[in-house]
Amino acid sequence: MALSKGQTTRQKMINLMYLVFIAMLALNVSTEVLDGFVLVNDNIQENIKVTTDRNHQIYSDIEVSYTGNPEKTKVWYDISQDVKQKSDSIYNYIQYLKSEIAKKSDGKDADIDNLKSKDNLDAASEVMISPVGGQGNNLKKLLDLYREDILGYISDNSKKDIVRQTLSTEPSSRAKKDNKTWIQSAFDRMPSIAAITFLSELQGNVRQAEGEVLNNIIQNIDLKDIRVNQLEALVLPQSNMVMRGVNYSARIVLAAVDTTQRPRIVIGDKELPMEKNGLYEFGVGAPGTYKFDGFIELIDRSGLPLKRSFSQEYTVMEPMATIAPLLMDVLYSGIDNEVSISVPGVATKDVVAISTEGGTLTLSRSGIWVAKPSRDKIGQKFVISVSAKMNGVTQSIAKKEFRIRALPQPLAYIGYKDQNGNPKAFRKGALNRSVLLGAVGLKASIDDGILDIPFTVLGFKTFSQDAMGNITPEVSNGANFSTRQLDQIRRMNRGTRFFITDIRVKGPDGIEQDVYPMQVTIN
């Protein structure tokens, strides 16, 4: 509406106020829509609580299984602890972002669950997109890292697709049409309550992904599976391929056997002595394929005999090479991988091994072979060919392929010593300020029970919050706390929480990467 000539000053003022009102109305978000976000956020919080409680119960079941049988469940227990640490880390970081948006909207005493300025259009943009201290890119990077780590632990492809979709940081088709990134479409000029609800949904998706991994772990360690109605007699040989002149060795067991009683084992027409505890050994003769059979018998809970028959073939063969990696069934690029290579009956000096594809292979002074895959061969094959000198003639014995993988992502930690002088690694939780100051700085390593590889910390940031609710970032350009960071820690009161983020490390393979952030509470 234009201002016409000839109008009175009062009429012009009324028309101008009307124009301003129309403009404000166009920018205003309706109360019903904002209240709808509150309802959705409340429902998401309830779902998160249910999922978290269910995950905690599974963690408890895994803990019980590990305590009762650590040898069987150690690998899966370690995986569960790794998943818990990573899930809690990113969940708590998202919670921190929600808190910052709430404070930008309502002030330092803001309540995330009872937001007053729900329609604030600046808070989310300042926290997530601001050129100075904006957390959006960091959140995207951490979500991408977490998603790929979690997908590696899930075997079901359909469940993988669900996790990949729910934790995706790709912009929607509409956002792409508007030339917006995932961060812009989620937080740019978005009401505070909408941004917080979106972050709550991400937290719920993190807990759901965590639960998928835990369900996969349960299936692998059979926490609840008794199998009393599917008993099978099993012959477990050390190898189905036996070289001439070597004893055949096999263990015969009944799956889910009751440890309070030993089964009766009969092979052919002879009973295996009880003191053998299922170990069956005999000498082998000329090369060829042979077979033996028998049955295993156990008394069930009703006192009746439970009998299962078995049959097993084995092959006697001439000597051959065995190749076994000392770490895993893969080789890691950029580092030395120890590999044991031997040919039974042949001296080490008469065994020759070469790498025909994927990198280099050398023999160390200790007699262990060292494979070093090329950095540009990740995802490809590393091939080892073995030959041996027997009876004066060099013969090709075997060829083995390995998968080349990049080193797993390391975790950052603060190293210190306890009261007894034992080295400790702090990754999250509460820590005395004196211990924190005495620790000097950060360290990082891969330490999953199989690999123990240190990384070099290149730099990191710390974020603290003063009494006015202001966030102060400080930067270190190395592994040690900077002078400003040490002063920052000294000023913190007991109970203060601060985050260590943007942790950049360099591995022995020369690759630089970012690792998960840390949350520290001053004790």
Read off the pLDDT of residues 450-487 as tens digits, 9 standing for 90 and up. Answer: 677 889 999 999 988 766 777 788 999 999 999 999 99
- Whether residues 302 and 440 share a domain: the answer is no
CATH, residue 327: 2.60.40.10
Q: Which of left, alpha, beta for 303 (phi over 0: left; psi -120 to 50: alpha)?
A: left
Last residue of one domain, picked from the residues 357, 382, 405: 405
Asked if residue 284 and residue 206 are part of one domain, the reply reads: no
Confidence band, pLDDT 50/70/90 cuts, at residue 324: low
Question: What is the overall mean pLDDT for the chain?
Answer: 81
Q: Which of 390, 405, 420 delimits the end of a domain?
A: 405
Other CB atoms within 10 Å distance of the CB of residue 54: 14
Residues 92 and 44 in one domain: yes
Is residue 12 included in any domain, yes or no?
no
Band of residue 253 on the pLDDT scale cut at 50, 70, 90: low
Indicate whether 371 pLDDT > 90.
yes
* Of residues 298 and 505, more confidently modeled: 505
The pLDDT confidence band at residue 26, using thresholds 50, 70 and 90, is very low
How confident is the model over 130-148, as a mean pLDDT? 90
Q: What is the pLDDT of residue 320?
A: 57
The continuous run of DSSP H or E covering 217 comes out as helix 192-221
How far apart are the C-alpha atoms of 204 and 212, rounded to whole Å?
A: 13
The count of other CB atoms within 10 Å of the CB of residue 523 is 14
Has residue 173 been placed in a domain?
yes
Q: What is the mean pLDDT of residues 260-276?
A: 82
By residue range, what is the domain housing residue 249? 233-317
**Local confidence band at 505 (pLDDT 50, 70, 90 cut-offs):** very high
Handedness of CA 426, 431, 432, 434 (dihedral sign): positive
Residue range 275-289: average pLDDT? 79
Determine, yes or no, domain membership for 369.
yes
Total domain count for the chain? Answer: 4
pLDDT(145) > 70: yes
Mean pLDDT confidence for 338-362: 86
Provide the pLDDT for residue 312. 84
Q: Is residue 140 part of a domain?
A: yes
Does residue 13 fall inside a structural domain? no
Q: Are residues 261 and 150 in the same domain?
A: no
Q: For 101-118, what is each residue's pLDDT tens digit? A: 999 898 888 888 888 888
Look at residue 211 and tell me whether its pLDDT is greater than 60.
yes
Strands 429-431, 518-522: pairing kind: parallel
Phi and psi angles of residue 61, each rounded to the nearest 5 degrees, phi first: -65, -40
pLDDT at 2 over 50: no
Domain check: are 159 and 49 in the same one?
yes
Q: Are residues 68 and 115 in the same domain?
A: yes
User: Is the residue at 24 inside a domain?
Assistant: no
- 27-80 tens-digit pLDDT: 455 677 677 778 888 888 888 999 999 999 999 988 888 887 788 788 889 999
| 346 within a domain of the structure (yes/no) | yes
Q: Looking at the structure, tell me whether residues 35 and 62 fall in a common domain.
A: yes
Collect all residues with Cβ–Cβ distance below 8 Å to 363 and sequence separation of at least 6.
Answer: 353, 369, 370
Dig out the tokens for 189 from the structure. Answer: 């000029």
**422: pLDDT strictly greater than 70:** yes
Least confidently predicted of 221-225, 335-339, 433-437: 221-225
Give the model's pLDDT for residue 325. Answer: 57
pLDDT of residue 323: 62
According to the model, what pLDDT value does residue 259 have?
A: 55
Packing angle of the helix pair 70-106, 192-221 (nearest 10 deg): 180
Do 491 and 513 reside in the same domain of the chain? Answer: yes
Q: How far apart are CA 231 and CA 279, in angstroms?
A: 19
Out of 8-12, 269-273, 469-473, 517-521, least confident range: 8-12
Shared-domain flag, residues 373 and 277: no
300 — pLDDT class (breaks 50, 70, 90): low
DSSP secondary structure, 123-157, as one string: HHHHHHT-TTT--HHHHHHHHHHHHHHHHTT---H
Same domain for 293 and 363: no
pTM beyond 0.75: no
Residue scoring higher pLDDT (317 or 453): 453
Judged against a pLDDT cut of 70, whether residue 239 lies above it is answered with no
Same domain, 132 and 270: no
Q: Which of 405, 432, 459 represents a domain boundary (last residue)?
A: 405
Over range 343-349, report the average pLDDT.
74
Looking at residues 209-223, what average pLDDT do you find? 81
Same domain, 353 and 329: yes
Q: Is 22 among the domain residues?
A: no
What percent of the chain stands above pLDDT 90? 24
Mean pLDDT of 391-399: 79
- Can you tell me the distance from the alpha carbon of 419 to that of 491, in angstroms, rounded to the nearest whole number? 25
Rounded Cα gap, residues 155 and 219, in angstroms: 11
